[in-house]
Structure 1
Amino acid sequence: MTTQLFEGVYPAMVTPFETDGRIDFEQLRADARRLEAAGVDGLVPVGSTGESATLSHDEHVEVVEAVVDAVEDVPVIAGTGSNNTREALELSRRAADAGADALLLISPYYNKPEQDGLLEHYRTLADEVDLPQIVYNVPSRTGRNVDPDTAVELASHPNIAGFKAASGDVGQISEIIERTRDEAFAVLSGDDGMTLPLLSIGADGCISVVANVEPERTCAMVGSALAGDYERARRLHHELGPLTRQLFVETNPIPIKEAMHIRGHGTPHIRSPLTRLSEPHRETLEAELRRLAEADLKDRGGAR
């Protein structure tokens, strides 16, 4: 069996802001340390959840540097993708210089390249930046799917080490897993609701939104599945299910920013054009977070 470089749980970190919109680096570093202490396998700053679309290039690099400096023993996978290959290359080089251990590269969005264009884009980055790289396929955001043939061809490049699968197409993801089993190429769920189903067909872990507020449960679920304990993994999957659904009732990262605030991890401030979570959804989200916290207290009480 081929050993994968990426396995387990990688929270897609939020970028916390002060009320005036500046990055709250103190909270960012505290989040990184909290998640590392909870047992995650790595951290993913400045992706979609980290509001990369509204960060300047300098802010991108500053966030990566802060997370790298905050953690002791987990890899930092920096989001450095763009729909402009030259811009993605610049961001990737700067992230590498800032100490990132790997890169997460969203497929080019809006301009909708053909599959040959996707191959050229990713090969250029992999040839020029000597870090492990994860192809991120989320066609609901980009308007273009990374087809299985393209993913499989990219898997043969020594610097392309993984695929973040957020297409919602289990058949397509299963095909990519099947056809890359002999490669050192990890397939990671990019959709929290699909993490357990994808693990059951051979995925290696997840880049997770819910892990920002429930890192222990997420790690326990993924770890159980990877160890073959699907009874425990299913129980944890269903425990997390209502919260996971609430985290996507509005555009990510709107709900997770609110959830972090409810849990005491920074302000709910989010950069325009996104807006704060609506009040009815806020109340339901708070109830779900309370339910899980009460379950933890009950479990600890029973353990005594």
Structure 2
Amino acid sequence: MAIFTGAGVAIVTPMNQDGLVNYDKLGEIIEFQIANHTDSIIITGTTGEASTLSEEEHVECIRFAVDKVAKRIPVIAGTGSNCTHTAIYLTQEAEKAGADGALVVTPYYNKATQKGLVQHFTKIAQNTSLPMVLYSVQSRTGVNIMPQTVAELFHSCENIVAVKEASGNISQVADILQMTQGDIDIYSGNDDQIVPILSLGGKGVISVLSNICPQETHDIVAKFMEGDMVGSRELQLKMLPLIHALFCEVNPIPVKTAMNLMGMEVGPLRLPMTPMEEANKARLIQAMKDMGIPLK
């Protein structure tokens, strides 16, 4: 059984002006997401600036999200690291906190071999009972999880149950599903590929777009699952200009900018992330206006 079906939000980590985590605001945006039918909260992922959180902050954000959500929808904790030992620690802490699953990204900077990836993910899986979602995003980490590697891990580790596929390669998604007999759950890691991945048998999306348009992102998946493929496709295509604007600079710079423009007051980014360039900000503002998103 899938951890969730639908649109899960890769939620931002709001900051105070002093750069510390703003837990009050995190609680507000979690409630906003649930009220607008988001199907899962994915905390401390790439969009949540996990790479610049201390281990203490990382764990506290997971605990806070689990407590705030209170089992209304699943909470998946980003627990990946380029250190296997650290990834095990974060995953075990997420399990203790009551998370419903762990999203584990490929080790970044190390550029592990496929053999190294097998050993890394296997070791984590052996040290937790949480369902694990592998996160393949070569553009951020420098290494791709090959379909054969995904299949090997899926068949050898019973709690590796899903993949967040952000390679951008639809053929790779098809190969993964073929090699796992369609039994592994796949979530799109790219907001512009939700419908293509659903058409191959995907379960939904782990979405940046959902931070500002949770209902619409939910509806793209819900319509498809209900058999309204035309409506799903039309909504996917309608959202494309906004999606492109949200990725015209490295994530999460644009989405945090967008949320602040909406008056959500999620605060600044942590270095080395910097404020959005003015030309790109103007593009983002226009895309939001075109979608009828009210700006403050």
**Superposition TM-score tier, normalisation by shorter sequence:** over 0.9
Counterparts of 2:201 and 2:29 in 1: how far apart (Å)? 30
**Residue 182 (structure 1) shift:** 4.9
Separation (CA, whole Å) in 2 of partners of 1:100 and 1:202:
25
State the partner residue of 1:116: 115
**Which of 32, 44, 54 is the equivalent residue of 1:56?**
54
Deviation at 1:268, TM superposition (A): 4.2
- Structure 2 unaligned segments of length 5 or more: list them: none
TM-score of the two chains, using structure 1 as the length reference? 0.93
- Kept in 1, the 8 Å contact 2:148–2:179? The answer is no
- Counterpart CA distance in 2 for 1:74 and 1:286 is 31
Please report the RMSD computed on the Cα atoms of aligned residues, expressed in angstroms. Answer: 1.4
CA–CA separation in structure 2 for the residues paired with 1:294 and 1:55 = 30
Counterpart-to-counterpart distance in 2, 1:294 and 1:106: 32
Identity of aligned residues (%): 38
Partner of 2:91: 92
Query: Shift of residue 179 of structure 1?
Result: 2.4
Q: Is the 8 A contact 1:190 1:206 kept in 2?
A: yes
Q: Which amino acid aligns with 1:179?
A: M
Match of 1:169 in 2: 169
d(CA) in 2 for partners of 1:6, 1:154: 20
Report if the CA contact (8 A) 2:187-2:203 is conserved: yes
Once the two structures are superposed, residues 145-195 of structure 1 have per-residue CA deviations (whole angstroms, 9 ceiling, x without a partner) of: 100001011112211110000011111111112222353x21000011111
1:198-245 deviation per Cα after TM superposition (whole angstroms, max 9, x unaligned):
111211101000011000000111111122211101111122111100
Query: What is aligned with 1:241?
Result: 240
Please tell me whether the aligned partners of residues 44 and 78 of structure 2 are also in contact (alpha carbons under 8 angstroms): yes
Q: Which amino acid letter does the alignment assign opposite residue 186 of structure 1?
A: D
Residues 39-88 of structure 1, C-alpha deviation per residue, up to 9 Å, x if partnerless?
Answer: 11111010000000100000001111111121131111000001110010
Q: Provide the rounded CA distance (Å) in 2 between the counterparts of 1:86 and 1:172.
A: 29
Helix, strand or coil for the counterpart of 1:158? coil
Give the deviation of 1:275 after TM superposition: 0.4
Please give the TM-score of this superposition, normalised by the length of structure 2. Answer: 0.95
Q: Is the 8 A contact 2:13 2:266 kept in 1?
A: no
Contact 2:16 2:267 in 1 (8 A): no
SS in 1 for 2:181: coil
Query: 1:294, CA displacement in angstroms?
Result: 6.1
Shift of 1:118: 0.6
Distance 1:202 1:22 in 2: 40
Partner of 1:278: 277
Query: Counterpart of 2:9 in structure 1: which amino acid?
Result: P
Which SS does the other structure have where 2:133 is aligned?
strand
Residues matched between the structures, number: 292
